[in-house]
Structure 1
């Protein structure tokens, strides 16, 4: 009797595990990776260097490798500045090129934008809908500008968002003559966008994402 009960219990656990794995697989099939503005001008030697850009770029590369390995949807967002007085991400410059850490493959979607919000005046929404995407995993730069603007817009459009916190980066800001350190800006904006029970986005790190 005990052996029979044990067998039933094991079979039940296996069944639950298979259901869970299938649900996770289906969820990932409806998930896209959005890599925002990981471009040369943000890296050392560029015209708008961010703090820890290389570290964030390396984390983004790991997430990208996971999506490639599992044949999941990948979208690269590339910013080209068109506003008057712009000093970086200028068209036809090396600084505007996507960094080698996350260089797109030929079959990966690249969307060019001109505003912080990646949905504005681009075909991002059409592409997501055509691929039946419901969930976004977001990495990139800058945390408090294009990453935030895109994430909040994605929430308003009904997407479920996950930001890979250590795969994003920013720089020092200035407010009323006082410098706000990049680390503080980074922490504050990630805390804000994940507030109210991760309303706009769940924020996790690279290791957490890959371990799941």
Structure 2
């Protein structure tokens, strides 16, 4: 059986828009992907609300910097056959004021960490797939509009920059906008249908990468 690490933020964790709730296990995209692979792989959910690629968030009590967490998780879950990374929305929100280009630089560093990691010599190094989150959308919720309304247009640039990084780094890329869109309830999270859609959309992609 193949082992896949799904490394991301609240979209990977399964946050429900405007509620302190998590989508059911069977509709969160990592688990939909696992089901679609028909028992040929297990997918490890490693989503953290607010996680960034490499940027600290001074407004949070819990460390959100993905570059801090990733090496520990690579060691925790080895051997791994594939690492899927979907991050970026929290890089461009209020606390960090970064551009999509900056998020892509953060993604490039995460790829480098995964490539250079001292894996157990008895196992092959994992393949890497990066994904941009679906772009932000307009919301009538005042708090979330203040949080990331300014970043809607910037979020639409993530696919372009991530595709470039993937090509430069020789890793795989998937644009989630092809299969999913954010929930306008808060403008940045996913309803159950759209988180499931990401998992379903990944099935043929992952099958091809892992040759299963």
Task: Identify the structure with bigger relative contact order (alpha carbons < 8 Å, sequence gap 6+).
Answer: 2
Same fold (TM over 0.5): no
Question: Going by fraction, where is strand more abundant, 1 or 2?
Answer: 1
Q: Which has the larger radius of gyration?
A: 1
What's the TM-score bracket when you normalise by the shorter of the two chains?
A: 0.3 to 0.5
